[in-house]
Amino acid sequence: MIHFDFQTIALPLARPFAISRGVRTAVTVVRVTLTDGEIIAMGECTPTAHYQESAESVCEQLASVRAQVESGLTREALQQALPIGSARNALDCAMWRLDAAKQGKSVWQLLDMQAPESVITAETLSLDTLENMASAAADAVSRGAKLLKIKLNREQIIEKVAAIRHAAPQVTLVIDANEAWLGLDLESLFQALHEFNIAMIEQPLPAGNDKDLVRCLHPIPICADESCHQRSDIAALRDRYEMINIKLDKCGGLTEALAMATEAKALGLRLMVGCMLGSSLAMEAALPVAVQAERVDLDGPIWLAEDYQPALRYQQGEVWL
C-alpha cells in the first residue's frame, strides 16, 4: 500500500527575478510525497500561471488520482491518468525515485546511466537596467560562471547585450526573449546580435505566432521553449527552430522528458534542458536529461533564500551532484 500526500510551499527569493512577463519575489511549489511505510520518495513542481496553472489547480489534479496512486498506479499508467504539466511532473519524479529505491538503486542506475560529477549550467541574468545587468554579469564572471542566460524584452536589446559582453568577454552567452519580440525586424536584430557571439536565442516570438521564423534568416540557433511542451510538438517545429528546451514542469515529468530527448535527437534537433524557479529537489530530477543536452539551465535554486536539503552545490558555473 502506497501513501500519497502533497503540500504547497512558498519559497521566498533571495532577490527579485524579472522576465519580459513580470517580476517575482517568491515562488510557490507543490511537493509530492510517496511512501510504502519504509521508503519515502518526493517530487516537486512549480505551477505556472502562463500555462493556466496554480497551486490550487495542481493540488486538485493530484487529489483526483489519489485513490489510483494508493492502489498501485504505475508510472506508465500515470502518463494517461494526468495531462502534461506540473502536477504530473511532481508525481512522476516521485514515482521514479520510489521505484528506484525499492530496487535498491538510484534513478541513474535504473536508467542504466552514469551520473556525472557535475554539469555546466547557465546562470540567469534577470531583466533589469543595462547597468545592473552588466554588473550582474561581472559578478557572475568573478564567481566562475561559464554560461550566462540573458533575459530581455524589447528595450535596449543591443545595448544590454553589448554591455554584458563587455563585462563577460569569454563567457558563453544565450538570450531568452520569453516571446517578447513580435513585430521587430528579426533578421536585422539577429544579424546585429551575431556580432556579439551569441550562442543561442530562446523563443523570440509567441507560441502560435512563430511561423515567421520559417522564412527568417538567422545566423544564431533558435530554441523553442513556450512552443514546445511535449513529444508530439517536436516534429512540427523543425522548419523554424534548431533546438528545443525541455522542462519537466512543461512536459509532465522525467518519463516524457526522456522520450522528448530521444525524439528530438532522432529528428535532428539539438537539446536544451531548462527549469522553472524551484529547489534542488526539482533540479536533481532533470539531470538525467541534462546530461544529454547541449545547453543546461538548472539554476533555479540559486535564486532562493533557502534551498531544499540535501541541496545541490552550485559553484564555478556548474551544478555538482
Catalytic site residues? 151, 247
Chain centre distance of CA 63: 25
Rounded to whole angstroms, the Cα distance separating 229 from 220 reads 22
Rounded to whole angstroms, the Cα distance separating 298 from 320 reads 11
Q: How many other C-beta atoms lie within 10 A of the C-beta of residue 280?
A: 21
Rounded to whole angstroms, the Cα distance separating 136 from 132 reads 6
For residue 4 the three cell numbers come to: 500519497
Angle between helices 254-266 and 280-290 (to 10 degrees): 30
Rounded to whole angstroms, the Cα distance separating 77 from 161 reads 46
SS3 labels along 282-307: HHHHHHHHHCCCCEECCCHHHHECCC
Unique residue bearing C-alpha cell 534537433: 269
